[in-house]
Amino acid sequence: MKAIAINQYGSADVLKVMELPEPELRPDGLKVKIHAASVNPIDWKLRQGQLKLLSGSNFPKILGSDLAGEVVACGDRITTFKPGDEIYAFLNPLAGGAYAEYAMIPEAIACFKPKNLNYSQAAAVPLAATTALQALRDLGNLQGAQDVLINGASGGVGSFAVQIAKAFGARVTGVCSSRNFELMEALNCDRMIDYKAENFTQLPEKYDLIFDAVGQKTFRQCKRVLKRRGLYISTLPSPQTLIQVALTSFLPGKTCKLVLAQSRGSDLAYLQSLIETEQVKPVCDRVFPLAETADAHRYSETKRAVGKIIIAVIETDLRTD
């Protein structure tokens, strides 16, 4: 099968189109013909070698976590899915495997694709939306009219976080550059702050929850604008954040947490219902054909993407509308 893989860590130039064996069907797995994948920053962090202590040195490595596609074969122990089902999922980013024509995935991480999304739109959802969901619902216990600030509101994770927080009834402030204010309005964000003009940690408003998908502000800087029992959640495991997570877990008052997204079919089913009831819609920036995955990585590395960057594995899935 055709795949985009690396034989060494390095710049986007190390991403090569390769002909590799198709994955073998396992008794507890689904073999999926992938129609679309999407890029997450962890894909290029891994490609650069930033995580090589965890990802090891077995090459070739097929990168990519998010996928949407069609089940083509099921292992003997599979009960929920059958060939022909349209699914979406995210693979362990360290193992990868989504930038390819086929993948083998455990049943527990698969879910039926939302009916109102095409494959490219569906591939935008799994990792980024799960991160936002697990941060806001599971770590943040978000409910009702709480005041929530999303830092990095226009990015892959942030654009889902704004919509999920709104679906939970929160009053949402989105921090992004002013060129993305129109998008924030379309996502029903209540208030916007342009980080280039104002520093939200120096403004008078206070929040129950700050979800930081950018990592430019620390828990200590955000403390001033957290309410008495306010919570700061980061997506970036910096040493500073890890220390604050440990320290604040023992003390009453303001708390620092770190989200590390876990791949679960049940959470994708939850997102499926938010999407099918039109409370959440993926924001898709650009679609690249599989052969141009290196350009998709270069674009993601600019950190200027608005929503998600899609890889169309099958060329007929080049559309996101």
Ligand X SMILES: NC(=O)c1ccc[n+]([C@@H]2O[C@H](COP(=O)([O-])OP(=O)(O)OC[C@H]3O[C@@H](n4cnc5c(N)ncnc54)[C@H](OP(=O)(O)O)[C@@H]3O)[C@@H](O)[C@H]2O)c1
Of 23-31, 77-85, 110-118, 156-164, the window that binds ligand X (rule: CB under 6 A) is: 156-164
Q: How many Å apart are CA 17 and CA 20, to the nearest integer?
A: 9
- CA–CA dist 182, 191 (Å, integer): 11
Bridge partners, residue 309, by sequence:
39
Q: Angle at the Cα of 158 (from 303 to 214), degrees rounded to 5?
A: 50
Binding track over 112-131 against ligand X, x by CB under 6 A:
---------------xx--x
- Comparing CA positions, the residue from 286, 289, 205 lying closest to residue 2 is 289
Nearer to ligand X, 18 or 195 (CB): 195
- Count of residues touching ligand X (by CB under 6 A): 31
CB 117 within 8 A of CB 37: no
Q: Choose one: 48-56, 69-77, 201-209, 210-218; the region binding ligand X (CB under 6 A).
A: 210-218
Each residue 227-256 as x (binds ligand X by CB under 6 A) or -, in order, gives --------xx--------------------
**Helices (H) then strands (E): counts for the chain:** 10, 16
68, 296, 305, 310: residue in contact with ligand X (rule CB under 6 A): 305
Among 52, 82, 206, 303, binds ligand X (CB under 6 A): 303
Q: Whose Cβ is closer to ligand X: residue 13's or residue 198's?
A: 198
| Binding of ligand X by 174 (CB under 6 A) | no
**From the CB of residue 78, how many other CB atoms can be counted at a distance below 10 Å?**
19
12, 98, 176, 193: residue in contact with ligand X (rule CB under 6 A): 176
Beta bridge partners of 73: 31
Per CB under 6 A, 296 contacts ligand X:
no
Per CB under 6 A, does 65 bind ligand X?
no
Nearest CB to ligand X, comparing residues 80 and 221: 221
Q: Does 154 bind ligand X (CB under 6 A)?
A: yes
The least CB distance from residue 279 to ligand X, in Å, is 19
In the numeric block, the tokens 């939306």 are attached to 129
Identify whether the C-beta of residue 183 lies closer than 8 Å to the C-beta of residue 306. Answer: yes
Yes or no: say if 319 and 287 are a contact pair by the CB < 8 Å rule.
yes
**Are 206 and 227 in contact, with CB atoms under 8 Å apart?**
yes
10 Å Cβ neighbour count for 306?
Answer: 19
For the CB of residue 265, give the shortest distance to ligand X in the complex, in Å. Answer: 17
Task: Kindly tell me which residue out of 213, 310, 311, 312 binds ligand X, with binding defined by CB under 6 A.
Answer: 213
Q: Where does this chain bind ligand X (CB under 6 A)?
A: 40-42, 127-128, 131, 151-152, 154-158, 175-177, 180, 195, 213-214, 216, 235-236, 259-261, 300, 303-306
